[in-house]
Amino acid sequence: MHLKNLIALFLLFSGTFLFAQDAKQEIASEFTAYQDAIASGEFETAMEYVTPDFFNIYPKKEIITLMEQTFNNPDITFEIKDMKIENIEDAQEIDGKHYVLLSYSNLMNMKFAPTEGESEENKKSRIGMTRISLEQTFGSNNVSYDPSTDFFGVRASKSVYAISENGKTNWKFLVVEKGQEETLRRLLPHQLVNKM
């Protein structure tokens, strides 16, 4: 193969690699902005990063109200921090849209208000039942409890599909949750749902 052809081939592959890296950087940046908006309670801003098709199933206003109720519930102190993107896979183009699977983790700290006049025995029971429930959902190695602050810490790992029309910009996100297979079937191509 001539040097000229080798250089052309190298430029073609390096251009493809750089394009993929740029798309992954864009996804990481937009996903971080999405997570930051949730963590800071800017739920309307956060919803701008969600795939619009999701709101054909669940109205945006209802989702925002639910998030506000969860984060502003006086019985629960709730914070999300230490978001870390673990992996961003290569894009797949299906039916004119680009899909990228992203995995991430974060730490959720939760403190549940005691009931009025709660005895020490009832508090221990409440903490034990809460811990069991969280461990069943997230795994025992991902749940901790700090008796000095009364906070539960939950390390959650999740998967998200980033979706874009052009594969470069304007990425929207769809969180992949256990028990939501029916919703995912309505929003993702069957090839992606079958892989989960």
pLDDT tens column, 78-112: 888 899 999 999 999 999 999 999 999 999 999 98
Tokens 């493809």 locate to 16
Identify the structural domains of the chain with CATH numbers, from first to last.
3-195 (3.10.450.100)
Q: Global pTM?
A: 0.81
Tell me the percentage of the chain whose pLDDT exceeds 90.
Answer: 62
- Tokens representing 117 are 């006049």
pLDDT of 118 higher than 50: yes
First-to-last CA distance in the chain? 43
Cβ count within 10 A of residue 67: 16
Report the 3 state secondary structure along the chain. Answer: CCHHHHHHHHHHHHHHHHHHHHHHHHHHHHHHHHHHHHHCCCHHHHHCCECHHHHHCCCHHHHHHHHHHHHCCCCEEEEEEEEEEEEECCCEEECCEEEEEEEEEEEEEEEECCCCCCCHHHHHHHHHHHHHHHHHHHCHHHEEEECCCCEEEEEEEEEEEEEECCCCCCCEEEEECCCCHHHHHHHCCHHHHHHC
| Among the listed residues 65, 85, 25, 47, the one whose alpha carbon sits nearest the alpha carbon of residue 172 | 47
Per-residue model confidence as pLDDT tens digits over 47-61:
999 999 999 999 999
Token output for 154: 């939950």
